[in-house]
A and B are shown apart, each in its own frame.
Chain A
Amino acid sequence: MKMIEIKNLTKRYGDLLAVDSVNFTVGAGEVLGFLGPNGAGKSTTMKMIAGFLTPSAGSISVCGFDVEAQPLEAKRCIGYLPEGAPAYGEMTPAGFLRFIADIRGIAPGARDQRIRDVVVRLGLERVFEQPIETLSKGFKRRVGIAQAILHDPKVLVLDEPTDGLDPNQKHEVRTLIQGLAKDKIVVVSTHILEEVHAVCTRAIIIANGRVVADATPDELEARSRYHHAVTVRADDLETLKSMLSGVAGVDEVIIDNEDKVVTAFPRKGQSIFAAITRLIQERKLAVSEVLLERGRLDEVFRTITQTGARS
């Protein structure tokens, strides 16, 4: 079932084309990663899905409701975490979540139980009665997510939920998103690529307002030059390079002097890992590490967004 359906979505700011006829649909069970360089149109797209900005052209429907024609119905179906997780700083999480529950029309009888559930899920018990403006970034973000999932929405839209958090907090938020993904569809924007593998079932890359890639994280990695390349760590890099160049199927070998590794790239569609490991064993080469690369998302990202920007 299509939970989000976007057709020819366009947003203009004066002469600037921020989002340029974007099309995609998101179905049940998907966690969609929304990637792109800063200023690519990610946030603008998410703001339009959430009903904050009005599209210049095109249409968005969420849970079958057109965002412009039936905004309240669509908004009821969405939980939205705006970028930076804004909240009313002078309120406590307790007061803030009660406000959200009331305005979302959660029945007073069910309200306190619902807030308790969310507070436990996000680990907010300790700060429940502290003003939000005094909380750490991690807690603020969790309050923002609590607010977004309070009414148990079918669609969850999170704009850069891990931006500015420390590695532990990032990990927590990702685990949380994975947990949420079980019964809702999640759209999460980020420019942190490791996140895509960690949480997403599908990734859309957007550059200059256009969708330049729409694939699973594995498919994206397969586009990388590093896909199925072999990286070897050793002391004598020059000798290693010349030996690897002779292996059948190897297209090119490059030395990375910073990391003290040599990487051999295969010709398209060829597998060179077995041949290289055999060579190392036969010649008894002194290597400390042999790695079969899966593909580097950051490289794919750079290639796609930069060529996308040129075209």
Chain B
Amino acid sequence: MNPVSVIFKRELASYFSTPVAYVFIVIFLVLANAFAFQLGGLYERGQADLRPFFDFHPWLYLFLVPAVAMRLWAEERNTGSIELLLTLPVTQNQAVVGKFLAAWAFVGIALALTFPIWITVNYLGDPDNGVIITSYIGSLLMAGGFLAIGSAVSAATRSQVIAFIVTVVICFGLLLAGHPLVLGFFKMVLPQWLVDGVAALSFITHFSSISKGVIDLRDLIFFGLLIGFFLYATSVVIDLKKAD
């Protein structure tokens, strides 16, 4: 069997061997629905779509995804199992990718379990299911981006708490990069091309264009490059911090 899939299987199983996985999934589902109905006014809008549901995903992920990512490498380093893992006949990249994919699949499972809300809008009205599907894809890609950042941060420390906080801060910065307030501020001090550069880094900009139902290659490339870059960074950081 391919080492990546062996590591993937072990990691994914380890999420479910502790209560953490179930706690996470329950909190994710409760918050996702609470945001959509209470803050987003899913019913009151009187429209059969899931915009209010997906609009809150970036903010939901901001705290929940770093909680999944924080243990990826910090725990391995803390218990010393990293030394075991990396002296098995696997390359470091295989380990990085296997662990990342397991975490991604885990968040994907939580996301997939929100399907009742999708059934609900189909029952109540006649939504554009194409848009909903692309929104799910966009949401999953965004979660992958958060996770890859969390993976790199987690590789830099033994402490899961530090990994969590630093990841939240970085992700918060990337989320806000596309906010009109932030861009408005940058517009006053920066030339337009730099403002565009900052806006281009924004998760929300890329996510919202996908969640409008348009799968633009540029958005896919953005998340793909982001994930690739931070997984590569994870590997580099592991190398640098091995001796500690």
- A residues lining the B interface (CB < 8 Å): 13, 47, 50-54, 71-72, 75-76, 78, 80, 82-84, 86-91, 95, 99-100, 102-105, 147
Contacts and interface: CB of A to CB of B under 8 A. Distances in A.
A285 to B, nearest CB: 57
Interface of B: 1, 3, 6-7, 10, 13-14, 17-18, 79-81, 83-84, 86-91, 239, 242-243
Nearest to B5: A102
Interface centre among B1, B3, B10, B90, by most chain A C-beta atoms within 10 angstroms, is B10
A257 B18 CA distance: 59
Nearest to B16: A90
B90 A103 contact: yes
A99 B10 contact: yes
B88 A100 contact: yes
A88 B81 contact: yes
Contacts of B87: 50-52, 75, 78, 80, 82
Contacts of B79: 86, 88-89
Contact of A84 (B10, B80, B90): B80
B233 to A, nearest CB: 18
B14 A105 contact: no
A84 B243 CA distance: 16
21 contacts: A13-B243, A50-B87, A51-B87, A52-B83, A52-B242, A72-B90, A75-B87, A80-B84, A82-B80, A83-B80, A86-B79, A86-B83, A88-B79, A88-B81, A90-B18, A91-B14, A91-B17, A95-B13, A99-B6, A103-B89, A105-B89
A75 B91 CA distance: 10
A104 B80 contact: no
A181 to B, nearest CB: 21
Given A52-B83, A103-B90, A104-B88, 14 more contacts: A75-B89, A76-B89, A82-B80, A82-B83, A82-B84, A82-B87, A86-B79, A88-B79, A88-B81, A89-B79, A90-B18, A102-B1, A104-B89, A105-B89
Contacts, number: 65
A-B residue pairs, 3 tightest by C-beta: A86-B80, A82-B83, A75-B89
A53 B243 contact: yes
Contacts of A54: 239
Nearest to A84: B80
Contacts of B86: 51-52
Candidate in B17, B88, B243 with the most chain A CB atoms within 10 angstroms? B88
Contacts of A102: 1, 6
Contacts of A95: 13
B212 to A, nearest CB: 42
A98 B89 CA distance: 15
Interface centre among A82, A88, A91, A103 (most CB of B within 10 A): A103
B2 to A, nearest CB: 10
Contacts of A75: 87-89
Nearest to A81: B84
Given A52-B242, A103-B6, A72 B1 contact: no
A34 to B, nearest CB: 17
Given A72-B89, A72-B91, A90-B17, A147 B3 contact: no
A16 to B, nearest CB: 10
Given A53-B243, A88-B10, A99-B6, A47 B18 contact: no
Contact of A88 (B1, B14, B90): B14
B3 A103 contact: yes
Q: Among B1, B81, B89, which residue has the most Cβ atoms of chain A within 10 A?
A: B89
Contacts of B14: 88, 90-91
A52 B10 CA distance: 21
Nearest to B18: A90
Nearest to A71: B91
Contact of B84 (A71, A76, A147): A147
Nearest to A83: B80
Nearest to B7: A103
B138 to A, nearest CB: 33
